[in-house]
Amino acid sequence: MKNKLIILSLITIAALLTACGTSRQAAVTLPDGQTTTTTTTGDPVDAVIATLGDWQTLQTGGNITLNAGSNFSSSIQVRMVRDQAIYISLRPMLGIEVGKLLITADSLYAVDKVHKRYVAEKVSLLTAGIPVTVSDVQDIFLGRPFIIGQGSLSVGLKQQVTATSEGSRIVLTANEQYKGYGYAFTLDKAGRIVSLDITPAGGSTADYQVKYGDVRRTNAGNIAHSIKVNATVEKKKLDFSLTFKNIDWNGNVKIDRNIPGGYTRMNAKDLFNLFSN
């Protein structure tokens, strides 16, 4: 395992999952390459909302494969407290934790236990000031449509999205978006999410995409148990895939916020130099 790989893996995961922050209205490209501006109202959005259940905590295991110039695979443990925290533990060998990542409402922590170093920064380091919340990042993980900064799609947010239909797909686009990019969710007719696409304004292809699979009906509604992310961070092509095992919902979840003593802190400049090497 290369010297930088653990901390790079943790920060890449965080970067990829918060990268959808910069957006603006743009044409939606459907999976078959055709576009449509035919708007459907009522039933398509209601059907999607009906698949989104409530939850408070989750805990699960899984596996992650990351390609960030070097390949890295590991088993992981994931814990979340809704709207508050996301915790990921890397355990590539015999269940031993070698690194951990914690994303909270305003902070980002990554700890490399092998090389005794850590990152402690504001989440805004990765979101460029766009109001992406912990809830938004959790929805990206789980495959739940959301409105940036306002939470999961709900009856109260229904008027803030437009549904377009083409063949067997439904595309949900937020009516109000951010300068530079547009974001849209593609689902099948049963309300199972297929992808989240971030497209440059005026463009026709996504430069950031999350593909979802193995969508299961759970106590928290439809949840994707497989995700694949393709993106560019600091001009470097990155991708990772993540699979979840069965998820335990609404139990007691421990979020480890401790940074061991004697570790070396990496600053933001050191952090982004990881992507250029």
Domains defined for the chain, CATH in brackets: 5-276 (2.50.20.10)
* Contact status, residue 30 vs residue 169, Cβ threshold 8 Å: yes
Q: What is the pTM of this model?
A: 0.84
pLDDT of residue 72: 81
Contact 83, 135 (CB under 8 A): yes
Tell me the C-alpha distance between 128 and 75, whole Å: 30
* Neighbour-count burial of 156, counting CB atoms closer than 10 A to its CB (0-12 exposed, 13-18 middle, 19+ buried): exposed
pLDDT, the chain, mean: 81
Residue 52: is its pLDDT beyond 90?
A: yes
Lowest mean pLDDT among 35-49, 157-171, 255-269: 35-49
What distance in Å separates the CA atoms of residue 61 and residue 114, rounded to the nearest whole number? 21
pLDDT digits (tens, 9 = 90+) for 69-117: 667 889 999 999 999 999 999 998 888 999 999 999 888 898 989 889 8
Highest mean pLDDT among 35-44, 117-126, 195-204, 233-242: 117-126
Q: Decide if pLDDT at 22 tops 60.
A: no
Grade residue 6 by pLDDT with cuts at 50, 70 and 90.
Answer: confident
CB 120 within 8 A of CB 259: yes
Query: What are the beta bridge partners of residue 172?
Result: 163, 185
Q: Which distant-in-sequence residues (6+ apart) come within 8 Å of 220 by Cβ?
A: 53, 54, 55, 58, 142, 247, 249
How do residues 169-203 score in pLDDT, each as one tens digit?
999 999 987 766 788 999 998 889 999 988 766 65
In this prediction, residues 257-265 reach a mean pLDDT of: 87
* Confidence band for 206, pLDDT divided at 50, 70 and 90: low
pLDDT-derived band at 257 (thresholds 50, 70, 90) equals confident
